Amino acid sequence: MIAPIGELVRRHAKDRPDKVAFEDAKGASITYGELAARTAAAAGHFQDRGLEAGDTVAIMLPNSVDWVVSCVAIARAGCVSVPISHEAAENEVHYRLGDARCKAIVVSPSQLPLIEQLRPRLPHLQLIILAGSDDPTDQLSLALLVQSAARSQPRDLTDLHATSFIVYTSGTTGRPKGVMLSQHSMLWVIAACWAPIAGLSAEDVLLAPLPLYHSYALNLCVIGVLATGASEFLLEKFSTQDVLARLRTGRYTLMPGVPTVFHYLLEGGRAGCETVAPGIRYFISAGAILPAALNREFEAAFGRPLLDGYGITETSTMVTMNSPQVPRTMGSCGVPLPGVAVRIVDHQGVDVSCGEEGQLIVRGPNVMQGYLNKPEETASAILGGWYQTGDLARIDVNGYVTITGRLKELIIRGGQNIAPAEVEEAVLSHPDVLDCAAIGIAHPFLGEVPVVCVVAREGHEIDGEAIRAHCARLISPYKVPQSVNLVSAIPRTGSGKILRFKLREAIGPVTSA
């Protein structure tokens, strides 16, 4: 399973040429035989137009068959994929294209004007390939490139340890960093996690609502499908009713998501949840902390396991995973993958006792090669081979890891540490609350105090004092939120991480005790 992407594609084209590999919401589909032929043609054309091995090529497309074809073709040309959100703002796009010194970009017609506007400020950008257009006058149309013979054959390089992907972090705490990942590190996660634990195989049909430019989706929904010969339906965006309708067909066997997805599926499918997913073997959650209450409630309603795992971009996604074959500890993200070592350390790097909270650090074949153009940040992030995650966690006597928050997200109230996740767990257990986020707000006497932003369930009203009283029964007095703020939605990244700074900016400081 750990083989060059070109070899994997050729293998499946030989073994299952007529099997549909990917479909999308616009009606496009591609078999493994077609995937091999079209990506070989596209890779050859990329090379004919001057792309050298190791050159960086951006992908700025919505979830689609074209997204997958572009990613595979870039790999087969020996180049490096740089995924960018299709909805990224101008400054975000400019920063990524410049930082990665992208020589080419595959872009949708709707975003072509933005790229043309930026092009004079990007001297390295030489090629713009338009996906979603078959205009015969456009010689750089992806649709035409994949259908015409190229002079060059795809390089199909065999060095699995070369940088193959530059995936930018979500930037929740600072400017995004380009994480350099190899085919080996990404495929190793599939061989250690998705195939043996989730049972991903050629028999599976995935329903994929995750944005492909994030490492979680790139790993499982693109490379994982390619590695195992599975099939997948790509949703352009998540829609509660669309997903529920598709699940009811019984066609799908696995569905990955982030906790927010499962919040909304539970809310939208409350009537008759037990009939919603007849074909699903497992739902899979990663990308953000999955509250134990949501995990229990979702499984009770849908009658299917919701397996939680922990992963980050810098470790090629997964670090830990819950297995369906053994009893699980709700609220935990499982045990380390085979071959991965984890430790919980204090601020001096000393291992803490079992059950105590500290920073989670990771060592293994999945750890990144480093941050692009940032040697100092790389050196401080990887110490003696151990990646410093910045995530707070604890491990129980059975080896189960529970993520409790982020070091930089800790709320320090009068010298006492408060993990936002603990406050959120309490608030989410209130029957009127659909979603929430806890943040620290500056306070003139205490330094910081916790406040929460909440989204009400449909048809429910939010009573702030009732929620605070509810929390007072579940958590220590100093952790009870100072105020409860009603919002229409919690801002999140595509991988489900809360953008707390946006909520903090909207609320402002607390001026009273």
- Separation between Cα atoms, residue 46 and residue 77, nearest integer Å: 7
Mean pLDDT to the nearest integer, 358-374 = 97
**Pairing outcome for strands 56-60 and 104-107:** parallel
Q: Does the pLDDT at position 92 exceed 90?
A: no
Counted residue by residue, the chain has a size of 513
Query: Confidence class of residue 115 from pLDDT cuts 50, 70 and 90?
Result: very high
Mean pLDDT to the nearest integer, 382-406 = 93
Q: Does the pLDDT at position 27 exceed 90?
A: yes
3-class DSSP assignment, residue 417 = strand
Q: What is the H or E stretch that residue 503 is in?
A: helix 500-507
Among 2-6, 437-441, 480-484, 493-497, the range scoring the smallest mean pLDDT is 493-497
pLDDT at 254 (0 to 100): 98
Query: Confidence class of residue 133 from pLDDT cuts 50, 70 and 90?
Result: confident
- Separation between Cα atoms, residue 222 and residue 186, nearest integer Å: 11
| Cα dihedral 133, 138, 141, 145 in deg (nearest 10) | 130
Mean pLDDT to the nearest integer, 438-450 = 84
pLDDT at 112 (0 to 100): 94
Query: Confidence class of residue 407 from pLDDT cuts 50, 70 and 90?
Result: confident
For residue 324, what are its two tokens?
Answer: 């369906």
Query: Confidence class of residue 513 from pLDDT cuts 50, 70 and 90?
Result: very low
Q: Give the architecture-level CATH label for domain 205-406.
A: 3-Layer(aba) Sandwich (3.40)
- Separation between Cα atoms, residue 5 and residue 488, nearest integer Å: 42
Residues of the chain with pLDDT > 90, as a percent, come to 77
- Separation between Cα atoms, residue 451 and residue 483, nearest integer Å: 5
Two domains, one topology: 35-158 and 410-507: no
Query: Confidence class of residue 135 from pLDDT cuts 50, 70 and 90?
Result: low
> Where would I find the H helices in 49-190?
65-76, 90-99, 112-118, 142-145, 183-189
- Separation between Cα atoms, residue 419 and residue 438, nearest integer Å: 9
Q: Spell out the domain ranges in the chain.
A: 35-158, 205-406, 410-507
Q: Which residues contact 84 (CB under 8 A, 6 or more apart)?
A: 58, 59, 60, 92, 93, 96, 97, 168, 213
Query: Confidence class of residue 511 from pLDDT cuts 50, 70 and 90?
Result: very low
* pLDDT one-digit tens code per residue, 33-86: 999 999 999 999 999 999 999 999 999 999 999 999 999 999 999 999 999 999
Q: Report the candidate in 218, 216, 183, 224 with the shortest Cα–Cα distance to residue 200.
A: 224
Q: Which residues contact 346 (CB under 8 A, 6 or more apart)?
A: 352, 358, 359
Angle between helices 292-302 and 420-428 (to 10 degrees): 40
* DSSP E strand boundaries for 118-168: 127-130, 163-168
Query: Confidence class of residue 171 from pLDDT cuts 50, 70 and 90?
Result: low
Q: Report the candidate in 133, 146, 68, 140 with the shortest Cα–Cα distance to residue 104.
A: 140
Q: Determine the residue type at 361.
A: I
- Do the beta carbons of residue 217 and residue 177 sit within 8 Å? no
Query: Confidence class of residue 99 from pLDDT cuts 50, 70 and 90?
Result: very high
Q: Spell out the CATH class of 35-158.
A: alpha beta
pLDDT at 134 (0 to 100): 64
Q: Give the architecture-level CATH label for domain 410-507.
A: 2-Layer Sandwich (3.30)
Bridge partners (DSSP) listed for residue 40: none
pLDDT at 512 (0 to 100): 41
Average pLDDT, the chain: 92
pLDDT at 384 (0 to 100): 95
Q: Which residues contact 463 (CB under 8 A, 6 or more apart)?
A: 432
